[in-house]
Every structure is written in structure tokens, then in C-alpha cells.
Chain A
Amino acid sequence: MSELTEFGLEVSAWLKENRPAEPDFLLPETFMEVGTDSQFRYLRDWQQQVYEAGYLGMAWPKEYGGGGMSQAYQDIATAEMARQQVPFMTNTIGLNWAGPLILQIGTEEEKQRYIRGILSAEDIWCQGFSEPDHGSDLGSAQCRAVKDGDEYVISGSKIWTSLGSYAKYIILLARTDPDAENKYAGLSFFLAPMTVPGVEPRPIRKMTGEYGFTQTFFNDARIPASCLMGAEGQGWQIAMSTLTFERGVTGGQAGGLSMVAVQVEDVVELARRVQRDGRPAIEDPLVRDQLVRFLTEEQGDRLCGVRSSVSALCSERPGAIGFSGKLRSTEHRRRLCQFAVSLQGESGALWVGDSAAVEGGKWQRSYFNAFSATIGGGTSQVQANIVGERVLGLPKS
């Protein structure tokens, strides 16, 4: 048996043995939906347990707290977590965006200070990019950072801060030079504490009725000048590299799951259980056609992932698969959840809390929450602009 196969069996056994008991509350399905203290504690404890067992950050350097092993091991561990559908890693922003960014361009001191806490979930990270008036248009961010001696004074507000109520650090995009030659050149990037006076995360109630985001207010919050990443004026560039991690274009993430996968298979099973107009939904020819469309799309995207590593089959537009990944996967999830609701016929109009709601209204909630991914991290419409402009060379909109 190869070492990797053996490793797979080991992870599989560990996960079976250590998987946390089902809680007596509804768990969130993505890191953007962590809305209560009990949800948060449950998920943080789980991440800590996985890290201590050695199955997280396996390919990150040992000297900073990683496993120092090849990516193949982490990929196996992550795939096994997906297979067993264990809970996801709640510190996603640290693990998948801030962490890889720090490892890529951070100073030695930053790596020493931050990486271990990201992996152990001791230090939760959040992201301060979007602002109330500037969602996908990050370049227009207005939140100010004014240098004052060996400190920066931050004023303004950020919005859609996932985990804002629990985070110790924030990756923060702020304007250091309002008079710069263009709006991008005036931006700087900070690895900033959330725990200083003047930082106030205020929970936002989502369309589901639950919590999970904050609007984060900075009222002349003073942070050490050493929080600046890179140099003043490099903020835009660093934010863009962060987004390539966020959108999965660049590898180097710590591993583990960041959401509950919604697979077509789950909706096929749902179609067997529910009735439409008095008949099992799975017998309806239109339902069958639509399910196969979703299966074909899901398999197509899976195969795109495989093909992207065969360079001879991607030579003409090497960025096409990577840059379209977020658009493809998030829209697929949204449409699939929407379809899962439509399968329920009249019960599709019920909501979480009704005793007759199909599976507790889980699909209705999933559908609503799916918008977090088609909107967050650059809306699908912005993603389509990016693919159109960078991959196809179309003019700017």
C-alpha cells in the first residue's frame, strides 16, 4: 500500500472516531452564516481538534505551525472530510485568504505572529474590504487610515464582515492618501487588530432572519503602524492578490472545508422523497430532465478542475477555468437550491419553523444563503465582467 493510501485510511478512521456529536441547534452551512455563540464555539472547537490531530495546514511550513508536508496529503485529508461530510472550518478567511497571503508576501515577523493562531482557530480573522457605498467596487473604498506617529488612526466603516463579532484580526483595506493620482494608488492594506478601542462590530440581520455578518465601525481606532502590510499605496495590489485566493484562482490554502457541500445527489434524494401534485417528484419527466442538467453541469465543472492541470488542453485561454470558477460554482449552488425548493410543490412556500416544512425548511434557507456567495467576493455580474475582460479580452464595461 502506498504511503498516501495508508494516510487516507488513517484520516478516514480519525474522522469517524472524532466527528463531533450533532448539536441540538441548526448548524450554519458556510462560514458566512455563523450567527450564534453556540454555533461559533462548536465550530471553533472542531477546527482546533482537526488542527491538533495534524490534518489542517499540512502543506504550510512547519516553522510557523504548519505540517511541512506535500499538498497531496492535505488534499486527501480535505477530500475525506468532504466525503464524510464533517463540519467545516470556521476560520475560513484566515485559512484560505489571509494565511496564504501572509505566507506569500508577509514578513518573517508576520508569519511568526499570525499563522499558528489562524490554524488553531485561536485567532479568528475577518475581512474589511466592502463598504456600505462600495460593494464590489473596492477601488472606491473610503475608510481612512491616517498616520500619527507610530500609529494609524482608522475611521469609517466596513460591511458584510463575516465573523465580525468573533474576529481578533481583520484584513483591512483603507485609504491612506485621498489625493493620490488615482483612486487605487491611495489605498493601503493592514493586518489590524479588532480588539482596540474604537472598533465596533454591529451585527446585521440577514434575509433569512439570522445573523452572520457585521457592519464594522471604526471611530478613530488607533492601531500600531506596524500593522501596515507592504508599503503605503500597495493596498489595491495586495487586495487583488487576496481575491485570487478567495476566488480559488491561486492555490496555497490551508485545506479543510469552508462550507457544507450541496450536491446534486442530495437533491435527487429529495426528489425521491417529496411529492409534486400528488406524485413522487422523481417521476416527473421535467424534473428528471432538470436533475440531469444539474448532474451534467456538476460533472462538467468537476472535469474542468481535472482538465485545468492538463496544460495542452488549456493552452489557448489558460485563465478560463480558474477565473470562471467562482461564477460557475456559486451560480450552480444557487440554482440547485432554488430547484430543490421548487421540487416541494405547495410545501415550497413553507419556511424554517413550520412543523410541516420539508426537512425543516433547510432548502429554503440554503437557497437564501446561497446568495451570500453569488454576491460576496465580487458579485456574479462583476465576475462575468472579469472573465469577459481578462479571459476574452473584451472592452471594459
Chain B
Amino acid sequence: MNNALSTAMAFSDEQSMLLDTATDFFRDKATIDYVRGQIETPAGFDNELWQELAKLGWLGLAIPEESGGSGLGLAAAVPISEPMGRQLFAAPFLSTQLAVQALLHAPDALSAEWLPKLASGRIGTVAVSEPGGSWNLQNSECVAAVTGSSLTLTGTKTFVADAQAADVLVVSAHLNDAPVMVVVPTDLVPDGALTRQVVVDETRRCYQLALDGIEVPAANLIDGSRAKAALGSVRNAALLLLSAEACGGIAGALDLIVEYLNTRTQFGRQIGGYQALKHPTVDVLIGLERSRSHLYHAASLLEQGLEPEVALRMAKAEAGDSFAFAGDRAVQFHGGFGFTYECDAQLFLRRAMWCQYQFGDAAHHRKHLADMLL
């Protein structure tokens, strides 16, 4: 069975250029002081820098040219997400990309309205998680009801990232027992519907959303096979870009560990000389290498229109666990300093935990892989 797994690995010159440019860009702009500064702000990101991403064309990579994007496809967003993760940069990039993926399956009028806006710097997000905690996106318990030309929603959404800053939300629900998605411009969200959640990764902004009382035009509905496709695309994009962010995060945590192991001295020698610290650091590197290989393979399959599910789940599981290990060891290897808020290791550990539990942790994906492969 495993012999039949694809080993496709395509990386274009264009993607290579994006990776180089984005690596320099985020290293330059998203210094650790900047990241810590943004933690203290209500929005968690600054709009000026966000607009720069739009000008660089990075927000429209997965949007077709006729809708104001560059049409390069989702795989081209991987070389942006990876260096973003490395610098712990937080902005509504993933949220907006997920909204784009849903809107790509929306009726023409909806996608024509929103995709050009999202390509040019407006913010979108998806509301697909619910209090039950199911990672199966097709099983929403929220209800959509159509009366004449209007549509109402009931139920509760959780982990709606960047909802406060967003211009548009794409919400999953069910209508007559079938999964649907509903496009909700945020000016139709009543005051008080959003409650900020306290999440482990302080660079993130996440909200619980009360749907009761939200009413939108019935034309804002994505249903039937489009809804299933939209949910599938949202999941695929989430697994891909979270894996990319995690790969970046592992590399960032590894940099932090190596830097410390090469400078900190104890018992008369640099601590990196001790094998008890050196060998697990090599394990972090190996986790990074395997994760990146899974990641760019999964991106290649998506780009080539091949079935990506096994590759995406493997990428998310490997990157999720490897990042969790990297963050955990980064704290431990900094000794007493590692226990403090001031040490940057905790930022990586928090981000690792964030990535792990979004859209399915490693054990969840392995369970699905077992059913597919064994």
C-alpha cells in the first residue's frame, strides 16, 4: 500500500523566489520585539503591514486573475506561511486564505463581490468550529433557515480567528440536514455576538460567535455540492498552511535552541557540547526535515490536482508533533530562564500548541490515516 504513495515534489522558480522574498521580508519586519509588541494590541496585528502584504500580491495568490488575484494557486501560499511561522508573525493571513477557499465555491455574484476585496487587503475568516469540538467540518450543528429572500442562522461557533477585524465571515451550518456555508458580511453581525476567547497563543485573536439573530440575504448561501467542495477546500487549505506555519515554527525554535546552546556556558563549557542537549536538538532537526518533505509534497499534489488527503494528514501530524516537541525542548533547554515569560521559548511552545489543536491534532489525523491505509 505505502509503495503506492506518490512522491511528487514540484517547486517552481516562482515559488522559490516567493520563499526567498518572504523569508527576508518577515525576518526584517517581524522581529521578536515587534511580535511581542503586537501581543499587547487589541487587534494583534497592524494594518499598515497587512496592506504591504496585499501590495506584494501575497493575499491574492490563490485567487484567479479575473477576480483580482495572481492565480498561482494555494501551493504558492506555502512559501509565505512558512517564513511567517518562523518569525511567529500573526496576521489574518490563514483566516483570509480559508475564506478565499470557501468563496471560490460560492455562486458567482458572491465570489465576484468578495474575492477582489480579499485580494486587495480586506479581511475574511471562516467560522467552522463548534463547542462540541468535532474536527469533522461536515457535521455542523448550527442551523440555517431560509424564509423568502432572507436567511437566518442559529447556534454557536468557536475559534473564529480574527473575527473582530474581519469584513466577511463564511459560516458552516446545516440546512435541511445537508451541510451548507453562509457568507456573512460583518456589518450584519449584531453587537455583542462576538466574545473574545483566551487562547494559548497570545499572538492570536479568536472569538466565540453567537449566530442567533444573524440575518443575511438568501443569496449568500453556498449549498449542495458546492458546500461540500467548499468545506473540503477549507480543510485542505487549513491543513496545508498550518503545516507550513508549523514547519516555520520548528525552524524558529531550532534557531533559538542552537543559539542558546552555542552561547550559554555551564560547568566550564558551552552546553551544546553536552549530548543530553545535543541529541534531542538533532531530533528537532530531523522532525523539521521530515515535516518539510511532507509539506512540500502535499503542496505539490494540491497544485497538480491530485488526491491530497493522505499527504495533508501526514504533513499535519508530523509537523504538529515535531513542532510540539521543538517548543517543549526549547523551554527545557533554556533552564531557569526558559521558565520565564521573558524567554522567547514560550512563544514557540504556545504557537506549537495552537497549531496542533487547530483542524485536528496528530492523533486525530493518524486515526483517519489508519482507516485509509491499513
Contacts and interface: CB of A to CB of B under 8 A. Distances in A.
B19 interface: yes
B112 interface: no
Given A288-B374, A291-B370, A295-B373, A304 B270 contact: no
Contact of A310 (B2, B11, B269): B11
A38 interface: no
Contact of A296 (B15, B254, B314): B314
Most buried by B among A288, A292, A385: A292
B292 interface: yes
B109 interface: no
Interface in A216-246: none
Contact of A307 (B9, B314, B363): B9
A394 B292 contact: no
Given A265-B1, A307-B293, A395 B374 contact: no
Query: By DSSP majority rule, is chain A's interface helix, strand, loop, or mixed?
Result: helix
B2 A299 contact: yes
Given A293-B366, A296-B317, A307-B9, A393 B2 contact: no
A333 to B, nearest CB: 15
B273 interface: yes
Given A296-B314, A381-B279, A394-B273, A303 B297 contact: yes
B165 interface: no
B370 to A, nearest CB: 4
Interface in B20-61: none
A279 interface: no
Nearest to B310: A299
Interface string A360-395: 000000000000000000000100110110011111
A306 interface: yes
A313 B78 CA distance: 12
Contact of B9 (A288, A291, A306, A391): A306
B281 interface: yes
B92 interface: no
Given A289-B370, A388-B278, A394-B262, A320 B289 contact: yes
Contacts, number: 137
Name, among B5, B11, B16, B292, the residue most crowded by chain A CB atoms within 10 Å (CB to CB): B292
A263 interface: yes
B327 to A, nearest CB: 17
B58 to A, nearest CB: 18
Contacts of A392: 254, 258, 281-282, 285
Contacts of A384: 275, 278-279, 282
A168 interface: no
A385 B282 CA distance: 8
A130 to B, nearest CB: 20
Interface in B355-374: 363, 366-367, 369-370, 373-374
A115 interface: no
Contact of B273 (A288, A302, A327, A395): A395
B162 interface: no
Contacts of B318: 296, 300
A297 interface: yes
Interface string B261-289: 11000000110111100110110011001
A265 B11 contact: no
Contacts of B270: 395
A289 B285 contact: no
Interface of B: 1-3, 5, 7, 9, 11, 15-16, 19, 251, 254, 258, 261-262, 269-270, 272-275, 278-279, 281-282, 285-286, 289-294, 296-297, 314, 317-318, 363, 366-367, 369-370, 373-374
Query: What 10 pairs across the A-B complex have the smallest Cβ distances?
Result: A300-B290, A303-B293, A312-B16, A394-B272, A288-B370, A395-B273, A292-B366, A388-B278, A395-B270, A384-B279
Interface of A: 263-265, 268, 271, 282, 285, 288-289, 291-293, 295-304, 306-307, 310, 312-313, 316-317, 320-321, 324, 327-328, 381, 384-385, 387-388, 391-397
24 contacts: A263-B2, A264-B2, A268-B1, A268-B374, A289-B370, A295-B314, A295-B369, A296-B366, A299-B294, A300-B293, A301-B290, A304-B290, A306-B293, A307-B9, A307-B296, A310-B296, A313-B11, A384-B279, A385-B275, A387-B282, A391-B285, A393-B258, A394-B272, A397-B278
